[in-house]
Chains A and B, each alone.
Chain A
Amino acid sequence: MTRPGNDLTAGAAERLTERMVGGEDEAQAVTRARGGDTEAFRFLVERHSRGVFRLAFRMTGNEHDAEDVVQETFLKAYRKLSAFEERAQFGSWVHRIAANCAYDLLRARVRHDDRLDRTEGPDGDRTMTVPADDPSPERLVAGGEVRRRLRATLARMSALERSAFTLRHVEGMSIAEISRALDLDASAAKQSVFRAVRKLRQALGEQARWGITT
């Protein structure tokens, strides 16, 4: 579980560790990769694959999709190496690309998965709905129901809300970083996080009406 406030989330801690360990090697590898050295790029891929996979999985919630995101992320990074500012951290940069790829995939999944119902959200961002199963009161009180409800709420969110919330709550990205990763202005990123939190709390409020606590 992530820690609130100024404590480090798992994602932020991982990136900080990466900065501290072998930062010099990485900077040299980035310079060589920008010069067309594929072995140097291999070093970077092997070093950051796990972190990118973790982020992709947390955003998409699906192993197969996460693997697609990993591949697309490093392809994009390779193409954009010339645009990478060497003063920046390669890990943070590649995580932003991964977040953007996962967000694209979530949007594409909503558009194309005709097994899911689709509705238009108020901000024009499409939302996905999962099949509703109305449980009995007995089932509601069964263990894990609260988490199941919250997971369903996350699945019903728009791609933007889900992405922004996951990046903020789980990955520990700041609103400014999220807006850069998802190509949004800061206000849109912030509002998406607010909407996501409101929906999750509404889901918990429904649970409370059944007398269930976390």
Chain B
Amino acid sequence: MSHLTDEELVLHHFGEAEDPAAVAHLSECAACRAALEALRGDLEAVPVPEPPERGADYGAQVWARLQPHLDAAPVIPVEQARAGRQKMRRVWAPIGLAASLVLAFLLGRHWPHEAPSPVSPAARERILLVAVGDHLERSEMLLVELVNAGADGQPVDISAQQQYAEELVGANRLYRQTVVRAGEPGMASLLDELERLLVEVAHRPSSMSPSDLADIRSRIESRGLLFRVRVIETQVREKEKETTKTAAGTHVS
């Protein structure tokens, strides 16, 4: 048998050698054993990031951060979910309208040929951050509902979610245009992906089969959309706090 390939050596090193002939060859071939030893030495030089220490109460801290989010996560019985959605619909519709008005105002101020804005750039940034943060929070709630829908394997009526999705699409488009102008390509890219999903949800048939739901769920999960929405939302909220602090400092001085 010829000498082992690099790939065979790697598999052997990790204890995953599959070919018995290769394993037998290794016991007979000094050159291959030397090559394996060299590989072993190289991989031992690879630095392993040492995680920072966590205190004895770390588990409790994680739980404290996690618990408030669990309310949105569990699979809710259909009737209960429907009642909740009706309530949410009443709340969300005016919020969506308000968001659109805020954004229309902000967009107006971003046109280059407008008259000088009575609102300072810092105040405008704060308004934008608050609005985008709220939008991402609402989008997250919708994504969580879609991920959890139909866990019992029965068809689900998503007409309420579709209505939310339609409301979010309009606001999302405005936010996306605004963040593009504000020079935030990362956020713009996320909003672009979010918008495509929202449009798709809004235009699907209202009665979703388990396989349709699995398809939507897979789109959300495979692209890490929900996770990314949460990450960007956290970043936006942190930036919002920073700008508020800076503004407060400016007023004091």
Interface residues of A (CB under 8 A from B): 1-2, 4-6, 36, 38, 41-42, 45-47, 49-50, 53-54, 57-58, 61, 63, 66, 68, 70-72, 74-75, 78-79, 82, 101, 104-105, 107-108, 111-114, 146-147, 150-151, 154, 168-170, 174-175, 183, 190, 193-194, 197-198, 200-201, 204, 214
Residues facing A in B4-59 (CB within 8 A) are 6-7, 10-16, 39-49, 51-52, 54, 58-59
Q: A46-B63, A200-B43 are in contact. Are A111 and B186 (CB under 8 A)?
A: yes
Q: Which of A6, A47, A58, A194 contacts B15 (CB 8 A)?
A: A6
B69 part of interface (Cβ distance < 8 Å): yes
Distance in angstroms between the alpha carbons of A170 and B227 in the assembled complex = 25
Q: Which of B7, B11, B43, B228 contacts A169 (CB 8 A)?
A: B43
Q: List 15 A-B contacts (CB under 8 A).
A: A2-B44, A2-B48, A4-B43, A38-B70, A46-B60, A50-B54, A50-B58, A53-B54, A70-B62, A74-B62, A75-B66, A108-B228, A114-B186, A198-B6, A214-B41
Distance in angstroms between the alpha carbons of A183 and B217 in the assembled complex = 14
Q: Which of B39, B42, B69, B190 contacts A75 (CB 8 A)?
A: B69
Establish whether residues A200 and B54, one from each chain, have CB atoms under 8 Å apart when the complex forms: no
Establish whether residues B43 and A193, one from each chain, have CB atoms under 8 Å apart when the complex forms: no
Establish whether residues A204 and B48, one from each chain, have CB atoms under 8 Å apart when the complex forms: no
Establish whether residues A150 and B62, one from each chain, have CB atoms under 8 Å apart when the complex forms: no
A interface majority secondary structure: helix
Distance in angstroms between the alpha carbons of A201 and B6 in the assembled complex = 11
Contacts of A2 in B (CB 8 A): 44, 48
Chain B 218-253, CB-CB to A under 8 Å as 1, else 0, gives: 000010100110111010000000000000000000
Q: A49-B62, A53-B51, A71-B65 are in contact. Are A78 and B73 (CB under 8 A)?
A: yes
Q: How large is the interface on B (under 10, 10 to 19, 20 to 34, 35 or more residues)?
A: 35 or more
Residues facing A in B61-94 (CB within 8 A) are 62-63, 65-67, 69-70, 73-75
Contacts of A4 in B (CB 8 A): 13-15, 40, 43-44
Q: Which of A5, A54, A74 contacts B51 (CB 8 A)?
A: A54
Q: A70-B62, A75-B73, A150-B47 are in contact. Are A105 and B231 (CB under 8 A)?
A: yes
B211 part of interface (Cβ distance < 8 Å): no
**A150 to B: closest C-beta gap in Å:** 5
Q: A71-B66, A174-B16 are in contact. Are A79 and B230 (CB under 8 A)?
A: no
B148 part of interface (Cβ distance < 8 Å): yes
Contacts of B231 in A (CB 8 A): 68, 105, 108
B151 part of interface (Cβ distance < 8 Å): yes
Chain B 173-212, CB-CB to A under 8 Å as 1, else 0, gives: 0000000000001110110000000000000000000000
Establish whether residues A200 and B42, one from each chain, have CB atoms under 8 Å apart when the complex forms: yes
Q: Which of A41, A50, A200 contacts B46 (CB 8 A)?
A: A200
**B100 to A: closest C-beta gap in Å:** 26
Contacts of B186 in A (CB 8 A): 111-114
Residue in chain B with minimal CB distance to A58: B49
Residue in chain B with minimal CB distance to A108: B228
Which of B12, B13, B16, B231: most chain A Cβ within 10 A? B231
Contacts of B16 in A (CB 8 A): 174-175
Among all A-B residue pairs, the 10 with the closest Cβ atoms: A46-B59, A104-B224, A112-B186, A57-B51, A214-B45, A49-B62, A49-B59, A54-B51, A6-B15, A147-B47
Which of B15, B186, B224: most chain A Cβ within 10 A? B224
Establish whether residues A170 and B54, one from each chain, have CB atoms under 8 Å apart when the complex forms: no
Distance in angstroms between the alpha carbons of A214 and B51 in the assembled complex = 23
11 A-B pairs besides A4-B14, A169-B46 with CB distance below 8 A are: A45-B62, A50-B59, A75-B66, A75-B73, A79-B75, A101-B227, A105-B224, A108-B228, A112-B186, A147-B47, A174-B16
B132 part of interface (Cβ distance < 8 Å): no
Distance in angstroms between the alpha carbons of A21 and B52 in the assembled complex = 24
Distance in angstroms between the alpha carbons of A84 and B77 in the assembled complex = 19
Contacts of B48 in A (CB 8 A): 1-2, 58, 170
**B57 to A: closest C-beta gap in Å:** 9
Establish whether residues B151 and A107, one from each chain, have CB atoms under 8 Å apart when the complex forms: no
Establish whether residues B66 and A150, one from each chain, have CB atoms under 8 Å apart when the complex forms: no
Establish whether residues B45 and A194, one from each chain, have CB atoms under 8 Å apart when the complex forms: no
Distance in angstroms between the alpha carbons of A41 and B66 in the assembled complex = 11
Establish whether residues A108 and B224, one from each chain, have CB atoms under 8 Å apart when the complex forms: yes
